[in-house]
Amino acid sequence: MAARAKTFLLCHGAWSGGWSWKKMHPLMAQAGHRLVAPTYTGLGERSHLASPAIDLDTHIQDILNVIAFEDLNDIVLLGHSYGGMVATGVADRARERVTQLIYLDAFVPRDGQSLFDLNEGGREPMHKAASAGDGYRIPPNPPPPDTPQADLDWLNARRGPMPIKCFETKLRLGHGEPAMPRSYIYCKRIPPGDVFGQFARRTKSEDGWRYFELDASHAPNVTAPEALMSVLEKIVA
């Protein structure tokens, strides 16, 4: 029996945008669900708004505004990669609207942590990369090596530099750990220097989590959309 129709609200990854989830819209619709995929300030179709002031709180507010203006309720909040930082903040500030939280190969911060606190190895190279450019943005990391050429061309034409403050901002949670059901999807095709294994280990062993694995690389919304949809269906069923 099909699951009741859900509204999935995306918090996308760094250097990206809602546009990169294009392949997921028909699959969501086919399954009877709705995918709302906004883009953060300063990226994608909103790249003309880029400024040194943009930080993690800007992106959390972007998503909170979508919830308010679209009047979304009973939300399945889906954080991919950097989007796990954003989703955790959104879940804290819109608790009455979010019924489930799903992390897809994503950062799972605790109160007071920044992305650089969770990826200490990235701090220095990314600061260097920002300094070599306009001083406040980091050029995109390359997409996973198993991305087909046509998808690579599509992604590389659209991915843009990421404001470094987003990675430096310490997340502030007003209500401690999110109280709603949480699931973690770990993508098993691991790049060198696996950043997300720490969260796989944590969510596998910590109470209050359901843990899933996907035989895909870091952006299954591009390289393995059907497999990703099947796991998401399992989670919300």
Residue-wise DSSP of the chain:
-PPPP-EEEEE--TT--GGGGTTHHHHHHHTT-EEE----TTSGGGGGG--TT--HHHHHHHHHHHHHHTT--SEEEEEETTHHHHHHHHHHHSTTTEEEEEEES---PPTT--HHHH-HHHHHHHHHHHHHTTSSEEPPPPPPTT--HHHHHHHHTT---EETHHHHPPP--SSSS--S-EEEEEE-SPPSS-SSHHHHHHHHHSTTEEEEEESS-S-HHHH-HHHHHHHHHHHH-
Annotated catalytic residue: which of 16, 47, 51, 81?
81
Measured in whole angstroms, how far is the alpha carbon of residue 41 from the centre of its chain? 15
Residue 59 token pair = 């992106």
Residue 173 token pair = 């949670």
Q: Give every CB contact of residue 206 below 8 A, 6+ residues apart in sequence.
A: none
Residue 205 annotated as catalytic:
no
Query: Which residues are catalytically annotated?
Result: 81
